[in-house]
Amino acid sequence: MEKNTRGPNIVKLNSQNYSIWKTLMEEMLYSKDLYNPVEGDKSKGTKSDAEWKKLNWKVVALIRQWLDLSMYPHVETKTNVENMWNKLKELYERKNVQYKAFLIRKLVNMKYIKGKSIPEHLSIFQEAVNQLTNNEITLNDKLQALLLLSYLPDSWEVLVVTLTNSTPNRKLTLAMVKDSILNEKAKRRERGLTNASSQSEALVSESRRRSQSRKPHSSDKSESRSKSRGKYKLRKEFICYHCGKSGHIKRIWDLKLEKMVPKTPQHNGVVERMNHTINDRVRCMLSHARLPKSFWGEAMRAAVDLINLSPSVPLNGDVPENLWRGKDVSYSHL
């Protein structure tokens, strides 16, 4: 949109920007004390006919300067400011049911496009809301805030959940959502992340790389693993070479059963260390995402899921979930 570099900051009218052009033009006419001719002869006051005609032509010339060439034919024959203003209003400020439905559909189907400027996206959203307001459809503040959140992609899900669950008295405001979106975009720019899902992809890639590059402890294990990679047997199909029964392997016979007081996992060193590991990971995730403690359960499930999907040293680099289920696991949900 073309702008004037010498005068007020206003854009030329085209078929797409009538709402903002009208607001800017009205402000400019008011600031120059030239708006009376727009209201018609009722605002003539004590001016003589000659003075009124001269003022009328002055406003006509000013408005025509800020019309795109494609708009000029619509008002070329209009020499009266009031008639010209009403003609433009008739063309672009339609208030019929069909146009209102179009504006609502435009607002509901709006989405934030990856890589697009956040301030530009917010401006487009506000312009759509203003168009509805001009057509006698007013959206309350909370509805506007929820619409703005619904436009965000899945990679912004943490921000959406945080806002909807941690707002005071669950009263979400448009100003709060705008500030949070701008702050989140600034943080991502500082971290060099434009897509939060890249973190999950990096984690999966690193896990796979470590799993593939890990060397077995002996040549026999290497040969056995290379032949059986990706082809795990179900637990019930395992045959123990020590006793000949299915459902377990010889390693179980080497275990020593030790009794302990019921409901006291702290007496089991292995379990206690794993509890500490899980708790540490949960605290790190909540701190990094800046989520309240009410998300502790979800964070713990995520931490345990990542442990089960990561290569394990005691299993010689195998993934626990693979051995438990007997088939390759999927990382697509991360």
Place of tokens 């979400």: 172
Bigger pLDDT: 219 or 156?
156
Report, as an integer, the average pLDDT of 89-102. 76
Is 302's pLDDT higher than 50?
Answer: yes
Nearest by Cα to 135 from 102, 108, 174, 87: 102
Is 327's pLDDT higher than 60?
Answer: yes
Place of tokens 């073309």: 2
Q: What are the tokens at 157?
A: 């899900």
Report, as an integer, the average pLDDT of 101-120. 84
Hey, how many other C-beta atoms are within 10 angstroms of the C-beta on 123? Answer: 12
Q: Tell me how far CA of residue 325 lies from CA of 230, 231, 246, 322, in angstroms.
A: 12, 11, 16, 6
259-290: burial string, b at 16+ Cβ within 10 Å, e else: eeeeeeeeeeeeeeeeeeeeeebbeebbeeee
What is the rounded CA–CA span in Å between residue 224 and residue 219?
9
**Mean pLDDT over each residue of the chain, to the nearest integer:** 77
Bigger pLDDT: 1 or 91?
91
Ranking 116-130, 233-247, 267-281 by mean pLDDT, the lowest is: 233-247
Q: Tell me how far CA of residue 280 lies from CA of 61, 108, 267, 269, 303, in angstroms.
A: 71, 42, 20, 16, 10
Contact 197, 326 (CB under 8 A): no
Place of tokens 């917010």: 122
What is the rounded CA–CA span in Å between residue 42 and residue 51?
15
Is 170's pLDDT higher than 80?
Answer: no
Q: What are the tokens at 324?
A: 């438990």
Instruction: Give pLDDT, residue 137.
Output: 85
Residue 211: CB partners within 8 Å, gap ≥ 6? 311, 317, 318, 319
Q: Tell me how far CA of residue 188 lies from CA of 8, 195, 207, in angstroms.
A: 35, 8, 24
> How does pLDDT run across 222-273, given as a tens digit for each residue?
444 444 444 444 445 555 555 666 665 555 455 566 777 777 777 777 777 8
Report, as an integer, the average pLDDT of 107-136. 84
Residue 315: CB partners within 8 Å, gap ≥ 6? 323
Instruction: Give pLDDT, residue 70.
Output: 85
Hey, how many other C-beta atoms are within 10 angstroms of the C-beta on 163? Answer: 17
Bigger pLDDT: 231 or 43?
43
What is the rounded CA–CA span in Å between residue 307 and residue 62?
69
What is the rounded CA–CA span in Å between residue 80 and residue 55?
10
Q: Tell me how far CA of residue 77 lies from CA of 21, 29, 35, 55, in angstroms.
A: 21, 21, 21, 18
Q: What are the tokens at 118?
A: 């956040």
**Please, which pLDDT band fits residue 58 given cuts at 50, 70 and 90?**
very high
* Terminal CA-CA length for the chain: 42
> How does pLDDT run across 187-197, given as a tens digit for each residue?
878 776 544 44
Is 102's pLDDT higher than 60?
Answer: yes
Instruction: Give pLDDT, residue 316.
Output: 78
- Residues in a beta bridge with 11: 3
Is 331's pLDDT higher than 70?
Answer: yes
| 66 SS3 class | coil
Contact 201, 195 (CB under 8 A): no
CA 279 to chain centre: 29
